[in-house]
Amino acid sequence: MRLNYLWSLVQILSTPMIIFAGETKGKARTSDIRVSGFRRLVRVWLRKFHDDFGIASVFFALLGLCSTDSSASPLLRLEDGKVAIIQDQGDYIKFSLSNGESVSVDDHGGFHWPPFFRDRNGNFYVGDKIISTARGEVVENKGNRNIIMLGPHYQIESSMQRPGTIMVQRDGKRCEVTAKNLKFSNANVTNISTLTLKDISFVDSDGPLVGLFRTSIGDAASDIRYWTVRIDPASCRMRVTSLGNPDNLIEIGWSPEGHWWIVGSIETTLLQSKDGEHWTAAVLSPETSQLVSAYVSNDHEIWLAANDGRIGQDTGPSIVHSDDGGHTWVPIKWGDPVLKRLPPIWFEGQMRVNAKAIN
C-alpha cells in the first residue's frame, strides 16, 4: 500500500510541467490559478499521506518539492465591496478591511481555520466574527475562539470543560452534541479546532444542520470512512448516513435552491442530497479532473472548480458548468457570458474568475 502511495505521488508530481504553461489574461494568469489548484490538491494528498502514516519528515520534505516560486504562484487579490481578500493558497487568506485592520484565516491544504462562509447579503462569517463587505468592517465579534458562526442560521461552540462536546445553536435553541453521538470512537478532543479542522465540516442552512465526518479505522487510505450527520435543531434528533470511502471528500456545501453537496478531489466526485441524509453521485464528464470545489445553484445550474481536457489550459478559468442538472458539462472560456451568473457567494469560483495577481 505504501508503494502505491509513493507511485501515485510520483504521478502527481510529474504533472506540473504541463500545468504551469500559461500567459496573462488581464486577471490572474490561468497558469497561476492552475498552479494554485494543483498545490491545493497536492497539499490535500500529502495531508492524507501524513494522516495515514504519521511520517512528519516525509510530509515536510515532499511539501518542499511541491513549492513553487512567487512568479509561478503569486498572491491573488479579490475585491468584494469594501473588503480586499488576499490569498496565498496553501498558506493563508486575509480579509483586509477599510480601516486598515485585517482578519486572517490559515489554509491547511484547502482546509481553512477558522472556517469562513459568505452569505447572499455580502457578509463573511469568519470564526467568531462577521465581516460586512458593504461597510468594510467587522460588524460582530463574539470574542470567543471556541465559537464558529457558520452563517446567518447556525453557530457551534465547543466546551473546554467537557472535551468532545459541541453546542449547536439556532434561534436560541441549543443542542448538545458529543463525540459519541457523532459516532467518533475517540472523544479525547479539547477544543473546537482539534475537533473540526480535519474530521468535521459543518455547513449552514435554513433547515437542518448537516455535517461531513471522517475517521480512520486503520493505517491505509482505504481504511478512511466518511459519514454525514443531520441534526434537527428543534428536537436535537440526529440521523447518521454512512458514505463509506467513495473518495477523498474535502468539501460540503449548501444553497437554498441547490440543497446539499459534497466534493471529492481524487476520483472527481460530486454527491448531492435534497434532505442532507440521502446522497446520490452526479455523473461528471470523463474529461473533468482536479475538482476542488463546487456550487449547486439550483436543480439545473451546477458549477465546478475543476480542469477539463476539452479546452486549452489558458482559454478559461478552470470552471466547468452545467445548466441541465448535470446531464451535460461545458468547460467555460474567458469572456463567456455565463460567467456573469457566477454566484457571488462561491469563494473558489470568484477567486478563479475575478481575482488579480498582485506579484
Q: Answer for the pair 27, 316: CB distance below 8 angstroms, yes or no.
A: no
Q: Is the distance from CB of 297 to CB of 255 less than 8 angstroms?
A: yes
* Block residue for cell numbers 492524507: 48
- Is the pLDDT at 166 greater than 50? The verdict is yes
What was the pLDDT predicted at 74?
80
Taking the C-alpha atoms of residue 5 and residue 45, their distance in angstroms, rounded to an integer, is 10
Pairing of strands 269-273, 330-331: unpaired
CA distance 168 to 80: 30
Q: Which of 156-170, 216-230, 280-294 has the lowest mean pLDDT?
A: 156-170
What confidence tens digit (pLDDT) does each residue in 264-282 have?
999 999 999 999 999 999 9
Measured CA to CA, the distance from residue 348 to residue 37 in angstroms comes to 10
Question: Which positions ≥6 away from 4 have C-beta within 8 Å?
Answer: none
pTM: 0.81
Q: What is the grid cell recorded at 274?
A: 435534497
- The structural domains of the chain, with segments of one domain joined by +, span 75-143
Residues written for the chain: 359
- Mean pLDDT computed over 219-228: 87
Asked if 28 and 356 touch (Cβ cutoff 8 Å), the reply is yes
Return the higher-pLDDT residue of 114 and 179.
114
Q: What is the pLDDT of residue 72?
A: 52
Q: So what's the pLDDT on residue 41?
A: 53
Chain-wide mean pLDDT for the chain?
81
Confidence of residue 349 (pLDDT cuts 50, 70, 90): very high
DSSP single-letter state for residue 232: -
* The amino acid at 289: S
CA torsion, points 140, 145, 149, 150, in degrees to nearest 10?
140
**Angle at Cα 256 formed by Cα 250 and Cα 262, nearest 5°?**
15
Alpha carbon distance 87, 194 (integer Å) = 24
Angstrom distance (rounded) from CA 19 to CA 32: 9
Torsion of CA 150, 345, 113, 109, to 10 degrees: 140
How high is the pLDDT of residue 181?
A: 75
Each residue of 39-56: pLDDT tens digit? 555 445 444 444 444 444
Confidence category of residue 180, pLDDT binned at 50, 70, 90: confident
Contact 189, 195 (CB under 8 A): yes
